[in-house]
Amino acid sequence: MQTKKLTTAGFLVALGIVLPQVFHVFGNTGGMIFLPIQYAAFLAGFLLSPGYALMVGVLVPILSSLITGMPPVPKVYFMIPELATYAVMTGILKTRFRSRITLILASLSGRLVYGIALIFGGVVLGMKAPFISLSAFGYTLGIGIPGLALQLLIIPVIYQQLQKLLLSEEVGFESK
């Protein structure tokens, strides 16, 4: 069982690195519009325990930044707690709510944490960057609405299909 969890986590980390690269065909704002890096975190929350999901949520932005340069430094520092929150909150909420409500609540939680991280970085640490402002935060929220809508449509379907696949594999192991 441990191997299966680690394999799933590894697959989701890889997905979180590769999927955003596909969206760069839409230009530099493709990631901001479609939010592809978030898929791995949300799926980790649905498919794994909160601890494993946290690992995915932390590793995806770090490894993606190191391997592809996206998200760039220093933005990656703010995306780490955001993606970790998406993953953990999805893992916690999935047992209490339907998948779309879970996604909405986890998304709001992650965006709140991102906003708090921006305030902390800007006010407390004195960091200066174009994305560390109230207007930039508002712009990020607005431009990401299409991505959020796609997530609400696509992630529950992907989750259901992966869940069926994972369950069918477990049944196959038990019958042998």
* Residue partners of 48: CB distance under 8 A and separation at least 6: 5, 8, 9, 12, 56, 91
* Res 175: pLDDT: 35
* pLDDT winner (highest mean) among 31-35, 58-62, 118-122, 123-127: 58-62
**Residues 59-100: pLDDT tens digits?**
999 999 999 999 999 999 999 999 999 999 999 999 999 999
Q: Average pLDDT for residues 41-54, to the nearest whole number?
A: 97
The answer to whether residues 152 and 100 touch, using CB atoms and an 8 Å cutoff, is yes
* Res 176: pLDDT: 34
pTM given for the model:
0.91
* Residue partners of 14: CB distance under 8 A and separation at least 6: none
* Residue partners of 22: CB distance under 8 A and separation at least 6: 36
- DSSP H helix total and E strand total for the chain: 8, 0
Structural domain boundaries enclosing 146? 2-175
Question: Residue 171 pLDDT more than 50?
Answer: no
Number of domains in the chain: 1
Q: Please name the amino acid found at residue 97.
A: F
The mean predicted confidence, pLDDT, of the chain is: 91
* Res 168: pLDDT: 66
The answer to whether residues 25 and 49 touch, using CB atoms and an 8 Å cutoff, is no
Confidence class for position 173, pLDDT limits 50, 70, 90: very low
CATH (domain of 67): 1.10.1760.20
The answer to whether residues 45 and 94 touch, using CB atoms and an 8 Å cutoff, is yes
